[in-house]
Amino acid sequence: MQTLMQADNLAQTAAFLLLFTLVLVIVMAYLMSKQKALTKSMLIQSRRRFYSVIDCGGSQQVREFQPGDYVGKVLGPCGEGGQAWIIGIYSEEVKESMK
């Protein structure tokens, strides 16, 4: 009877240790994957598109940024005696479509 009780205790202890180790491994794996995901998310480079804003006597037009564009660049006459010039350059993130 005593031997059976000892065997029963042994099984309980072994089960507890197994469960404890399993939980420990899962928690550590979760923490490490979270850390890796955080690092990865910081380094992901989202694609950007660049635009130049052109002003002509108060009316504005946006076109793709071209090499050589800079803010304040005069592009030439426009409208009635006005000057077309670049008043701003900005970027926008390209939203990737879900596949």
Partner 1 sequence: MVEGASSLATWIQTLLQLLWMLFIVMLILGFNQRLQVYLWVRDIRSKMVILDSLASEARNRTLDFLLKNNAKNPETLLNRVQEFFVIEPVTIEPTDIIKRLEHLFNIRVRRFKEDFEKALSDVDEVVRGKAEVAAEITAVLNFIHKLVRHYLLLGEKTNNWVLIMQLQLQLSQILQIASTYRRALEDFLEGRPVGDAAGPMTAVRLAGPNAKWIEIERDTTYTEVDFEGRKLFIIKAKGPAPEVGKPGSAVEKIVKSLAEKGRTPSLIITVDAALKLEGEDSGTIADGVGAAIGDPGPEKIKFERVAAEYGIPLRAVIIKMSLEEAVMAVDKKIYEGVEKAVERVKEIIRSESSPGDVVIVAGIGNTGGVV
Task: Provide the β-strand partners of residue 92.
Answer: 49
Per CB under 8 A, 24 contacts partner 1: no
CB of residue 80 to partner 1, shortest distance in Å: 15
Identify which of residues 42 and 98 has a Cβ nearer to partner 1 in the complex. Answer: 42
- Rg (alpha carbons) of the chain, rounded to whole number: 33
Per CB under 8 A, 12 contacts partner 1: no
Task: Give the number of other CB atoms < 10 A from CB of residue 51.
Answer: 15
- Positions that interact with partner 1 (CB under 8 A): 2-3, 6-7, 9-10, 13-14, 17, 35, 38-39, 42-43, 45, 48, 50, 53, 55, 65, 67-74, 83, 85, 87-93
